[in-house]
Amino acid sequence: MAAESSVSIELKGKEKKGSVSHFMKKNKKNMGSILEKIIENIFFLCACMAILSVVTITVYIFAKGSPAIFKIGIAEFVFGMVWMPTSGVFGIFPMIVASILATLGAVVIGIVVGLFTAIFLAEIAPGWLVRIFRPAIELLAGIPSVVYGFFGLIVIVPLISEYLGGAGNSLLAGIIILAIMILPTIISISETSMRAVPPSYKEGSLALGATHIQTIFKVIVPAAKSGILAGIVLGTGRAIGETMAIILITGNTPLIPTALTDRIRTLTANIALEMGYAHGLHQEALFATGVILFIFIMILNIVLNAIVYKKVNQ
């Protein structure tokens, strides 16, 4: 506290040299305050752009997509097993299943690998190794998803085809690439929240005779739980929304997969694949697919908000 105030005094001293007289004429001051008000309002309007965007996006997607759902019938659309736009049959159940399976698989791998890597970075790794790892993981986060898709197409797909049979374009390829893509999100958010755990928790646990590893898994990870969960939810959002990489590696057949090596088509892939030439009810059905995806994302967002809110309350 004392140090802080001494710094601020020093700063005030520094700034005095360049200070402008604040004894302004009265009307000039009024003009100034009007200008201030105007600019404050401009700032406010800019901040409202985010709200405006969310509202516009939601309204447009739902307005364009929901009529098709009712035209086709909610049950036929959501639980329909066949997607044949040319004969006017629009069922997206296989794609919903595919999206959920691919995301789930990726998240499970992502949690295991990501959590251990985050623990490594936050607790175990020596400083020099962290200085190599962390920029590398940031780079992993920055690589465009289409590059991952290409890598999957060139490397992962042939590997699967060679060892597990089939064409290689499969649910498994999707899971692997999605897992790699969401790792950076899970790692960096988990690491940050583990580092934010007060050192006294760790010291207390160590002082009671627990080993370092016990402290990590019984004290630090539980204490950082909400941050880790937030990272997982964000990763889930990224996985379920991924499109181009998935198109390149999963084969895009709209059937419910029965094995890891089966081809799948996700909700996102369905939109991107057919948007280019669709029209009429077909196009509306693609927007309706977007509506379903949007609802998934909204649910994830609410979960995320609940987690963050809980964290703030604690």
Which residues in the 71-110 window bind another protein by CB under 8 A? none
Q: Is 240 in the site for another protein (CB under 8 A)?
A: yes
Could you tell me the smallest distance in angstroms from the CB atom of residue 53 to another protein? Answer: 5
Q: Based on CB atoms, which residue is closest to another protein, 88 or 135?
A: 135
Q: Based on CB atoms, which residue is closest to another protein, 79 or 217?
A: 217
Q: Cβ(66)–Cβ(288) under 8 Å?
A: yes
Closest CA to 115 of 103, 123, 127, 105: 123
Reported residue count of the chain is 314
Could you tell me the smallest distance in angstroms from the CB atom of residue 255 to another protein? Answer: 20
Q: Based on CB atoms, which residue is closest to another protein, 78 or 273?
A: 273
Ramachandran quadrant class, 198 (left: phi over 0; alpha: psi -120 to 50; beta: rest)? beta
Q: Based on CB atoms, which residue is closest to another protein, 96 or 187?
A: 187
- What does the buried/exposed string (b/e) look like for 72-82 if buried means 16 or more CB atoms within 10 Å of the residue's CB? beeebbeebee
DSSP-assigned beta bridge partners for residue 90: 83
Q: Is 113 in the site for another protein (CB under 8 A)?
A: yes
Using the rule CB under 8 A, give the single segment among 100-108, 161-169, 239-247, 255-263 that binds another protein: 239-247
Q: Based on CB atoms, which residue is closest to another protein, 73 or 301?
A: 301
Q: Cβ(125)–Cβ(134) under 8 Å?
A: no
Cα separations (Å) of 286 from 87, 153, 237, 255, 292?
15, 25, 20, 17, 10
Distance between CA atoms of residues 58 and 43, nearest Å = 24
Could you tell me the smallest distance in angstroms from the CB atom of residue 302 to another protein? Answer: 10
Which residues in the 186-215 window bind another protein by CB under 8 A? 187, 209, 211-214
Name the 3-class secondary structure at 251.
strand
Q: Cβ(77)–Cβ(288) under 8 Å?
A: yes
Q: Is 42 in the site for another protein (CB under 8 A)?
A: yes
Q: Is 167 in the site for another protein (CB under 8 A)?
A: no
For 108-157, the DSSP string reads HHHHHHHHHHHHIIIIIS-HHHHHHHHHHHHHHHHS-HHHHHHHIIIIIH
Q: Is 295 in the site for another protein (CB under 8 A)?
A: no
Which residues in the 125-154 window bind another protein by CB under 8 A? 125, 133, 135-140, 142-151, 153-154
Among 275, 281, 282, 311, binds another protein (CB under 8 A): 275
Q: Is 22 in the site for another protein (CB under 8 A)?
A: yes
Q: Is 50 in the site for another protein (CB under 8 A)?
A: yes
Distance between CA atoms of residues 241 and 217, nearest Å = 31
Place of tokens 């709200």: 51
Using the rule CB under 8 A, give the single segment among 75-83, 87-95, 115-123, 164-172 that binds another protein: 115-123
Q: Is 271 in the site for another protein (CB under 8 A)?
A: yes
Could you tell me the smallest distance in angstroms from the CB atom of residue 256 to another protein? Answer: 22
Which residues in the 219-238 window bind another protein by CB under 8 A? 234, 237-238
# of chain residues touching another protein (CB under 8 A): 97
